[in-house]
Structure 1
Amino acid sequence: MFHNKTILVTGGTGSWGHELVKQLVDKQPKEIRVFSRNESSQVAMKREFDQYKTLKFIIGDIKEKDALIEATKNVDFVFHLAALKHVPVCEDQPLEAMKTNVIGTQNVIDAAILNDVEKVIYISTDKAANPSNFYGFTKAMGERLIIHANVLKSNTTFVCVRGGNVLGTNGSVIHVFKNHIEEKGKIGITDMRMTRFFLTIQDAIKLLFKATYESKGGEIFVMKMPTCKIVDLAKVLIEDSGKENVDIEVLGIRPGEKLHELLFSDYESQSTVYFDHEYFVILPAITVDGLQEYYASFKPVDLENYNSGENLMSRQELKTLLQKGGFIS
């Protein structure tokens, strides 16, 4: 599918973007355009991928539509990863979050349609399902814009993927916990009951490719993924560190933070189907030509919602997952 194609990756120097580019280069595309506003990350990534002549690095911000229009010329696929992603940052600066995550997404849509892009894949988050914080609200709005783009008069197909926390990404809880074990001898947890969905970065990119290859346009792809208690994650990392007397301190839930995340809500479960043994597909409330008919034979889910507080991994299963990701020995 990607052979001899031109691909644009917004936010391409982030953790998802880095792994996506790493896997895309082996698929023999004509060109991969890495679009981001982080100059130092671009320089470092350019050095790392120096042997691949198909990469082109573009400094730009998705808030600037003209820059996106230029970057999208003659592009076949757009992977839209760029976003403000940290919950406290978006709570503190909601206007900036809206400009990047909502207006920026509409700019991607407009640029893609103008340049007759074949398909746009938008990366969303579990926090967009029944959102409780501003980050979640902006990503939910981004999803709605992407889905609605399929009813516009264009040749471009738009699809969403919704994932949980990716192990080991920039600023992730694993790095924070390991740093605090080493430097402070204690870990801060907001609530001992808190749970989260986790997946490896390799599985995250697998989800992107699945949606790219098999989507019709207008749906949201969701991967079935493991869940764990955050306190169990902390205990596994403490055990692996070999340090004794590491305390776990309860800090209290931060503004907008949930005890448990959802990958689809009670409302969305009414229009969610089993795609296969690994994936769900959430169908939109609006009518997208041919989409409901295509999924008519797929089995509706028999779940009220998809909640991180259920089917939790044991501490041993969590340890195995972290070993697989290379985060513990």
Structure 2
Amino acid sequence: MIKGKKILITGGTGSWGQKLTEVLLEQDPAEIRILSRNEYAQIAMQREFGHDPRLRFVIGDIRDYTAVEEASQGIQVLFHLAALKHVPVCEDQPDEAFKTNVIGTQNIIRAAIYHRIPKVIDVSTDKAVDPINVYGMTKALGEKMMIRANGLSEHTRFVCIRGGNVLGTSGSVVPLFRRQLDDGQMLTITDEGMTRFFLTRTEAIRLLLKAAEAAVGGETFVMKMKACKMTDLAIVMLEQAGRPASDYKVTGIRPGEKLHEVLVSPFEAPRTYKYDEQYYVILPQDPDKRLREQYAGLAPVAFAEYRSDSEMMERKGILRFLRDGGFID
């Protein structure tokens, strides 16, 4: 799938992008282009990867169609990771979130069709399901645009994946808790009943590569993810640091924040199928012949909705998960 191919990763200097690049390089691609607007992050990543000649760094913003179109020339697989992701930032500046997450996605679609890129994989989020915040709304629009784009070209196929909170990514809760622990502060939790889906960076990359390899175009891949209460996560990290389990404070739900996340909505569940032991696949409302034939043998899911509070890890499971992710010794 990857050997000898030219790959484009938008937002490739982020945590997902760097891990994806590391894994893809092991599969011997002809070239990996990293498109992002952060010059410093590109220089740091180039140094980290030892100036690998297969890596090409391109400064550009996905809001700029010309930059996207030029970066897409000769590309055979496109991973679209670039986005404004932080809920409070998007709530505070919805116009900026729209420019990046919607207009930027539109530019990716246009450039991919123009250059006849065979496959585009769009990284979405659980917050795009029944969205209540600007981030989720813009990502939901991005999903709709990507799925609909399969009807615009016979040469380019588009697929979406949905992820949860990736352990250790910039701005995520585990690094925040670790900083607070290191500084001797109380951990901050917005609501004691809050739950979230989590996956490791390795699991996130497996999901991306599964979609790249198996997708026909038009479907959405969802990984079976672990979930937990945020209070349990905080207590495990406190206890491992030798702190009292009660050493946290509740700050209140932030604007746009959900109590629980959803990966498959009740509206989507009737057209969601068990792909294998690790993945579900959601078909569009009106799947074409290729999709119907590809997934004809799969069993429909048994759940009516896939929520973060439906099946949660106990504290022992959270501890193992954090150890496997390298966040606790």
1:111-142 per-position Cα deviation (integer Å, ceiling 9, x unaligned): 01111101000000000111111100111100
What residue in structure 2 maps to residue 204 of structure 1?
204
For 1:245 and 1:137, how far apart are their aligned partners in 2? 36
Aligned-partner Cα distance in 2 for 1:40–1:235: 36
TM-score, scaled relative to structure 2: 0.98
Query: Which residue type is aligned with residue 42 of structure 1?
Result: Q
User: How far, CA to CA, are the matches of 2:60 and 2:242 in structure 1?
Assistant: 44
Aligned residues: 329
- The whole-number CA distance in structure 2 between the counterparts of 1:118 and 1:144 is 19
5 Å-filtered alignment, 1:103-114, equals: 103-114=103-114
Deviation at 1:287, TM superposition (A): 3.8
Q: Conserved in 1, the CA contact under 8 Å of 2:194 and 2:260?
A: yes
Alignment of 1:265-280 (within 5 A): 265-280=265-280
Select between 46-55 and 212-221 the one with higher mean Cα deviation.
Answer: 46-55
Q: Is the 8 A contact 2:235 2:245 kept in 1?
A: no
| 1:73-98 Cα distance to aligned partner (Å, 9 max, x none) | 00000000000000000100001001
- The equivalent residue for 1:46 is 46
Aligned equivalents of 1:6, 1:46: Cα separation in 2: 18
Percent identity over the alignment? 53
| Unmatched runs of 5 consecutive residues or more in structure 1 | none
TM-score normalised by length of structure 1: 0.98
Contiguous gaps of at least 5 residues in structure 2 = none
Q: Which residue of 1 aligns with 2:221?
A: 221
- Whether 1:134 and 2:139 are equivalent positions in the alignment is no
> What is the distance in 2 between the residues matched to 1:305 and 1:157?
27
Tell me which moved more, 13-22 or 238-247.
238-247
Contact 2:3-2:29 within 8 A present in 1 as well? yes
Deviation at 1:240, TM superposition (A): 1.7
Q: CA RMSD in A?
A: 1.2
Equivalent residue of 1:110, what SS?
A: helix
Counterparts of 2:206 and 2:226, CA distance in 1: 15
What do residues 261-307 of structure 1 show as CA deviations (whole Å, max 9, x unaligned)? Answer: 00010001011111111110011124434212322221111101001
Could you tell me which residue of structure 2 aligns to residue 125 of structure 1? 125
Q: Distance in 2 between matches of 1:290 and 1:182?
A: 53
Residue 236 (structure 2) aligns with = 236
1:186 and 2:186 aligned: yes
Q: Which residue type is aligned with residue 167 of structure 2?
A: L
Code of the aligned partner of 1:327: F
Aligned to 1:264: 264
Match of 1:4 in 2: 4
